[in-house]
Structure 1
Amino acid sequence: MEFKLAFIGFGTVGRGLMELLLQKQKDLQQTAGFTYRVVAIHDIILGTLMNEKGVNGRTALDLAAEEKSLKNHPDFVKQADAGHVITSTGANVIVEVTPTNIKTGQPAVAHVELALTNRK
């Protein structure tokens, strides 16, 4: 089974996970049978990328680091929010890594509830 990932948040934690996934992709496939495709990345500051065939994670990392924006990525989508990414992509795994209010758990709680409601 191929996991289709959508990142909600692409700060330090999200980028770190993306870097690990890219570095360990072959090892994960060979040792655990873990295959994946990133179908979306959403960050409230950087912007949103969506592509059901797969978003180029290396390009996203480079743009986020160099330009502090994803708008020059070929999969850039204007005016998409986290809810849209969660509900409208073919992702079956939502990677929720947004900055979260420690008292309320928001916006992570809302994102996780929406993902679960949509069987992701």
Structure 2
Amino acid sequence: MSRILVIDDAATVRQYHRGTLESAGYTVDEAMNGLEAIEKVLQSPYDLYLVDVNMPKMDGYSFVRQLRGMQVHQAPAIMVSTESEAHDQTMAYQAGANLYLCKPAKPQALLGYVAMLLGRKTP
């Protein structure tokens, strides 16, 4: 089963995404910021990353940039943010994100994108 790391400083957002993803059969782990996420990636890389943009210690853009420079399995990264300006999306793609979604991500849409990026049938 695919392993997904949800990275967000808000516990309620992590729980929301965890519930949505686990209901579709994914194994989910959580990190509170990019720095904690890097530590988890070094222990065991994931199949997909769901990344908030604005976080303390290491923001989402920095996490994805660092991830892309690491010698680990390069899994898809979905950036999820309240920031909806075009330059925010551009920055996410320049950092190495595969997709940019605005919060709150609707469960069915999120699951569809996750399935697509993982090469699975839509749940």
TM-score interval, smaller chain: 0.3 to 0.5
Larger Rg: 1
TM-score, normalised with respect to structure 1? 0.44
Higher relative contact order (CA 8 A, sep 6+): 1
